Structure 1
Amino acid sequence: MLNLVLLGPPGAGKGTQAERLVGRHGLLHISTGDLLRDAIKAQTPLGREAKAAVDTGVLVPDQVVIGLVQERLSAGTPDQGFILDGFPRTVAQASALERLLGELGAPLDHVILFDIPIGLLEQRVSKRAEQSRALGVAARSDDNPEVLRRRVEEFVRATEALSPFYRQQKLLRLVDASADVDGVDAQIRRFLEC
């Protein structure tokens, strides 16, 4: 069983790498972005609360995200292993996750932090929005430069506290997310072999 956290700003490649890891290891992929978008689309009470935050580029309140993640982890197969994509983002979320995983008997193996310059993020998010429009699909509400900058600033502030939390536990691994998809994949494979 392999239990991972993927941390990084929007557009860093977490979702792409999570798909590869799921394919290789059969892990349960829990993307907080997907959980939030699904809750927003379904207009659940948590979804309505999340929408206000996502549309303005601020982090969704901890209690909303923790509730959604707890629901999903509890629904998974105990020995399957998982990838948490974009969660936790705050020390409060990390502490709540640690308690939950302790109850489930499923400790984390690695926390992989995707390091990437904001200029490249802006290019990637702009390209993702263009591809959505070309396919006739509405772009994500957070796929615009102004919202991206706010989300990256929020991410950096949160990560400044979160990185030491996981570094102290000897779980933090840093990848150069400016590399191409295969290059990032190779870096992650090296961590998992250790």
Structure 2
Amino acid sequence: MRVVLLGPPGAGKGTQAKGIANAYAIPHISTGDLFRENLKNKTPLGVKAQSYMDAGKLVPDELVIALVEDRIERDDCKNGYLLDGFPRTVAQAEALKAFNEKMGHPLDFAVNISVPSDILVDRITGRRSCPACGATYHIRYNAPKKEGICDNDGTALIQRDDDKPETVKTRIDVYEEESAPLVGYYDKLGKLVTIDGTQSPAEVAEAIKVALGGAR
């Protein structure tokens, strides 16, 4: 099973990615994790990416594509993979399609978790995290036992800068401008499955299970 996971910030992609990867025994490939791994191990691609980041520049498409292609060529991807955070643009999607065709393994599904912007803002701005243990909470949906305090170690919870209202709106705008066209792209290819992300995580997981053929 080869799956691309689409959806705006706050749609719940991280939660659902784990379920899909476990169900099909395929690796969950997050581009964020992939970057960190290559930077930490100082791979040739990682060193190249670091040079752009050190200069305050965006890592170019061709380098991001090379990182992803290098990862999905590994043995653990023989039976498939779940891509989370890639592709971000139609150009990246075209490159992935060409690579998959060359490998003889076409993409099976593009799962799009759809959530209205106002709900996304509410979800993300309510997040709080523990700077000590990394535990995450939500002031409305998953509140700590004591307001503002981590259940695990008593540390004061923080709101990350990228979870603040002004930043969240910018992140959603960027997604709509750059990544939303992917929905149309995969729809034309007949690969798109759109899931209502306003449901509970369990309901979203069940809807994905049905859409992918029930093998979860």
TM-score (ref. length: structure 1): 0.81
Identify the range of structure 1 (42-51 vs 150-159) with the bigger mean alpha-carbon deviation: 42-51
Instruction: Return the offset for 1:24.
Output: 1.3
Name the amino acid aligned to 2:72: L
Gap regions ≥5 residues in structure 2: 136-157
User: Is the Cα–Cα contact under 8 Å of residues 115 and 174 in structure 1 kept in the other structure?
Assistant: yes
Structure with bigger helix share is: 1
Could you tell me which residue of structure 1 aligns to residue 114 of structure 2?
115
Superposed CA offset, 1:120-177 (max 9, x none): 323333344x123474688766333333322211211224432221111111111111
Instruction: Return the offset for 1:21.
Output: 1.2
Distance 1:100 1:140 in 2: 36
Alignment CA distance shift 1:47-1:115 (3 Å): farther
1:85 and 2:84 correspond:
yes
* Structure possessing the higher radius of gyration over alpha carbons: 2
TM-score (ref. length: structure 2): 0.74
1:132 and 2:130 correspond:
yes
Could you tell me which residue of structure 2 aligns to residue 34 of structure 1?
33
Distance 1:39 1:145 in 2: 31
- Equivalence map 1:105-184=2 (5 Å): 105-128=104-127, 130-133=128-131, 135=133, 142-184=162-204
User: Is the Cα–Cα contact under 8 Å of residues 10 and 123 in structure 2 kept in the other structure?
Assistant: yes
User: Is the Cα–Cα contact under 8 Å of residues 50 and 64 in structure 1 kept in the other structure?
Assistant: no
Could you tell me which residue of structure 2 aligns to residue 189 of structure 1?
209
Distance 1:162 1:14 in 2: 16
Name the amino acid aligned to 1:142: D
Alignment CA distance shift 1:175-1:50 (3 Å): farther
User: Is the Cα–Cα contact under 8 Å of residues 12 and 114 in structure 1 kept in the other structure?
Assistant: yes
Distance 1:39 1:142 in 2: 24
Gap regions ≥5 residues in structure 1: 54-58
Superposed CA offset, 1:28-80 (max 9, x none): 11111322344566774314635847xxxxx8642232122112111243532
Which one has more relative contact order, counting CA pairs under 8 Å at least 6 apart? 1
Could you tell me which residue of structure 2 aligns to residue 45 of structure 1?
48
Identify the range of structure 1 (90-99 vs 9-18) with the bigger mean alpha-carbon deviation: 9-18
Alignment CA distance shift 1:173-1:127 (3 Å): same
Instruction: Return the offset for 1:185.
Output: 0.4
